[in-house]
Each structure stands twice: as structure tokens, then as C-alpha cells.
Amino acid sequence: MDSFKILMMSLLCMLVMAATSVRSQGTRVGFYLRACPRAESIVRSTVESHFSSDPTVAAGLLRMHFHDCFVQGCDASVLIDGLGTEKTALPNLGLRGYEVINDAKSKLEVACPGVVSCADILALAARDGVVLSRGLTWAVPTGRRDGRISLASEAANLPGFTDSVDDQKTKFAAKGLTPKDLVTLVGGHTIGTTACQFFRYRLYNFTTTGNGADPTINPTFLPQLRALCPQNGDGTRRVELDTGVPSNRFDTAFFTNLKNGKGILESDQKLWTDASTRTLVQQFMGIRGLLGLNFGLEFGKSMVKMSNIGVKTGTQGEIRKVCSTIN
């Protein structure tokens, strides 16, 4: 066995151990082994099918899982249709990937009726999308149940694109996540896009001096952004969050872009300009003289922590028959 295979097996073992350590919270790796042994493979094949025709769906699934966990816990409440539900909240209007979850749920209801929760499907699908984008895998603890409450008003405290680092830390800490988890999970922006309306203000009206742009933007990068997002142009136009590299590749280029003043969202760029988080960014970049961090490995560990925020297990919640509707 060559050294690469040994390394990959070691990393996978570490991920399994990290995931297994959350059993006390009610979830565990392999929860469906007896009740629905093909559960994870059905989700994986469904994600693969959608990814093959639209690779950008990976970022959509990852973001949806994040938004779900930060409101009411990881209980698939973001999937529920209806007036005033989380899905209708302003931060969630751009979420996508619902069709993947619904497709997987339909297949699972045929194979194992009433067994696999929508919350678990979303957690598994987010992982599978990252792997398809060339990221490292991790073992996903399962056993979540689906929530019955979904309120748009509760999405108001989701991390926002103008948040300071202190605000981001506070919101993550409220969910039991550390500054390291914060920088790691924001690194998920290595895949995906955002709309011009969420960062165009940085290009033209940020200051009243100079060229009006956010001074943390690399001056050589500014013309490119202004060409993509003219001052009076289409605010819904999508721009890649990780520029200058092959799209939909899960890697550390995002952190290098922050160092070079090429972060798209203000909240992302602040992870470099704020000294309290800059060292973590440097560690993911492998800056000489610092103890480096393996982004793929750390991302899996932080995802396991995030995916266990406020989970409903045992007799809590329900197992929805249709992910968009409470039973």
C-alpha cells in the first residue's frame, strides 16, 4: 500500500472517530444500517445524478444545510413550504437544491417508508456535494428527526455579509462553534456564487474619498469586479466567491484570495483584515513558520459539529413523508 493510500485511510479513521464522539447528542454514524441499509448510497447517487448536470448544486446544498442548522437546529425546517416559513425569509430566498432533497426523499420513501428524515438527507447531501467537488469526505452522524416549526422571523440572526468578525464570532459561539469553526466553515465559500446586490456597495459607495471602493479590495481586482457588477447593472447577476481558480473545486484558494484582497463578500474579507482570525486563514494557506491546518480534515470536523446543532432525536419531531410539508 503506497503512502498516499495510508494517509487517506488515516484521515478517514480520524473523521470517523470525530463523528462517533457526538453519539451523546443522539446521532451516530451508521444510524440506518439496520432500518435502511441503502439510505446513504441512495442519497449519494441522487446527488451524483444532479451534480452531473449542474455541478453548482453542491454549493447550494452546503449553504442550505448551514442555513437550516443556524435556525431551529438541524431539523430540515428550512425545507417547509408556506407563508412565513424560513424558506421565505430574505437570507433564504437564494437557497437552491430543494429538488435534490425531494428527489432523494421520494426514492427513500419507496425503499424504506417513514424511516429516513429530511434533516439527515440534507446533512448527507451537503457532504456528498463537497466530495464531488474534490473535497475530503467525512463520516456523517445520522439519527436526526424533522422539526415541525418554521418561522421566517427566526432567520433574522443568520450570519450576514456585512457582519464584523466579532458579530460572526458571537453568532457562531451561540451555536457552540469556535472561531476556528467559523473560519473553517466560511471556507466553504471555495465553491458557490453570490449576487452583485450583496457586494456591489463595496465597489462604488463604500467611502467618500478616493475611488469610492472598499480599501480592502485589491486595486488591481477592482476593475474586474466593476465589469462584472456595473453600478446600475443587474443586481441578481451571479459572481463566483472564489475567483481565479477552476469553479466548483473544493480547495484552499479561497483563503489565498482573502490574503490578496480578493474576497468578494465584506464579511469574508474581514477574516483576513481582522488580526484575531488572520492566523487561522494563514494556517489553512500553509504560511511558512506557522503550524499548518489541513482544510479538508478540519472542514469535516467542523461540519460534524455544526450538523449536531439543536438536533431532534428519539421521540422529538417527526419523520416527514414529504420534506416540504409537515405530516
Nearest-5° Cα angle at 85, 84 to 88: 80
Rounded-to-integer distance, Cα 265 and Cα 187, Å: 12
Provide the grid cell at 157: 440572526
CA–CA distance, 260 with 244 (Å, rounded to integer): 12
Residue 3 sits at φ, ψ, to 5 deg, of -65, -35
Instruction: Please tell me the distance from the alpha carbon of residue 294 to that of residue 96, in angstroms, as a whole number.
Output: 29
Name residue 221's amino acid: F
Beta strands (DSSP E) in the chain are: 193-195, 238-240
CB 277 within 8 A of CB 271: yes
CB 263 within 8 A of CB 149: no
What does each C-alpha distance from 254 to 17, 29, 57, 126, 313 come to in angstroms? 28, 30, 19, 19, 35
Asked about 50 being catalytic, the answer comes back as: no
Q: Which of 50, 65, 67, 189 is catalytic?
A: 67
- How far is it, in rounded angstroms, from Cα 274 to Cα 252? 19
107-128 residues labelled b (16+ CB within 10 A) or e (exposed): bbbeebeeebbbbbbbbbbbbb
Active site amino acids: 67
